[in-house]
Amino acid sequence: GNSVTQMEGPVTLSEEAFLTINCTYTATGYPSLFWYVQYPGEGLQLLLKATKADDKGSNKGFEATYRKETTSFHLEKGSVQVSDSAVYFCALSGAPITGGFKTIFGAGTRPFVKA
């Protein structure tokens, strides 16, 4: 079945450092890939998405490229800020052949950014 594996941490960074959170997936068909972010005390919100191979999603300085050959969707940001401290979830949503809307989440990664 479909699954998502992401690095868990802990991840501690200094402000303005480069952030990478690895995410790999297993899926049949052609899933859509997402990064969701959960700030302290808030619900999940979509950070970025990619719906086909080689697509690059980007938002708020974060980027991720859908790599079918390596089944990966790593999240990157060139210069993190303290305000980026949150939990980041990699997720996939199946193609119609595998069930449509159902979303599978990774375990979540919580980078801690020090000032």
Partner 1 sequence: GAVVSQHPSWVICKSGTSVKIECRSLDFQATTMFWYRQFPKQSLMLMATSNEGSKATYEQGVEKDKFLINHASLTLSTLTVTSAHPEDSSFYICSAPTTSGGWAYNEQFFGPGTRLTVL
Chain residues that interact with partner 1, rule: CB under 8 A: 32, 34, 36, 42-46, 49, 51-52, 89, 93-96, 100-108, 110
- The minimum distance between CB 79 and partner 1, in angstroms, equals 26
Cα torsion 109, 83, 15, 112 to 10°: value is -30
Nearer to partner 1, 100 or 115 (CB): 100
Residue nearer to partner 1 on the CB measure, 60 or 79? 60
Which CB sits closer to partner 1, 19 or 37?
A: 37
Q: Which two tokens stand for residue 44?
A: 């999940």
* In the complex, least distance from residue 22 CB atom to partner 1, rounded to whole angstroms: 15
Q: Give the nearest distance from C-beta 97 to partner 1 in angstroms.
A: 10
| Closer residue to partner 1 in complex, CB, 18/112 | 112
> What minimum distance in Å lies between the beta carbon of 90 and partner 1?
10
How many angstroms separate the CA atoms of 29 and 100, rounded?
A: 11
